[in-house]
A = this chain, B = another copy of it.
């Protein structure tokens, strides 16, 4: 199989016959010849190094971005100075839509690893959506999906214990790897414990202790950020949520 950043949404080679799309990934992919028009407005490439910022909270909103490789973290800082990690974006996922409402990004996006993203200028996406009903629908769905995901996260954070939160998080990462045809059980966490804790509303110490307990109970094996889920069903039982 090709390296991930050269694969199309169908995980075939570049210019796969099914989608004719080589610059942008799953979430906006439409099985239709119209996709070529979308492909034309997408800015390629944009390689990012670890720590590079894709956009900053408060800066003018221009584009949304599709991740092609690597991993991006989005976080926002509240007026009171609290920092909140609002999401991690993996290849095939789209970020930046939070900026639409106020014409400014409400969060900062930073690369956790060397990453590649596609830039999709929003004005052009808007005009194109007026011509391509399927694209408009896709984009409505994408945003609606982000809303329901946020609401699930809210439930997780406000109703579940530390163990349940961490278990759910690991299963979510696993599921997203599976979607990309990668291992369900073995993968690398691109973010620090700090980031995981912040995202889940826990301290770094609690995250570390919970992972320690999972390890002791033979649910997982961890070495730094390398993770192996030894007992998927066991972890699901802890999470009490089906992923």
What is the bound-complex CA distance between A106 and B148, given in angstroms?
Answer: 7
Which parts of A124-146 form the interface with B (CB within 8 Å)?
126-127, 129-130, 133, 136-137, 139-146
| Shortest distance from the beta carbon of A100 to any chain B beta carbon, whole Å | 4
Determine the chain B residues whose CB is within 8 A of the CB of A157 once the complex forms: 154, 157-158, 201
What is the bound-complex CA distance between A212 and B140, given in angstroms?
Answer: 43
| Shortest distance from the beta carbon of A80 to any chain B beta carbon, whole Å | 4
B201 touches A159 (CB 8 A): yes
| 9 more A-B residue pairs beyond the given contacts A147-B150, A158-B158, with a C-beta to C-beta distance below 8 A | A78-B155, A79-B241, A100-B143, A100-B144, A101-B147, A102-B145, A130-B136, A150-B150, A157-B201
Determine the chain B residues whose CB is within 8 A of the CB of A130 once the complex forms: 130, 133, 136
What is the bound-complex CA distance between A80 and B159, given in angstroms?
Answer: 11
Determine the chain B residues whose CB is within 8 A of the CB of A129 once the complex forms: 136
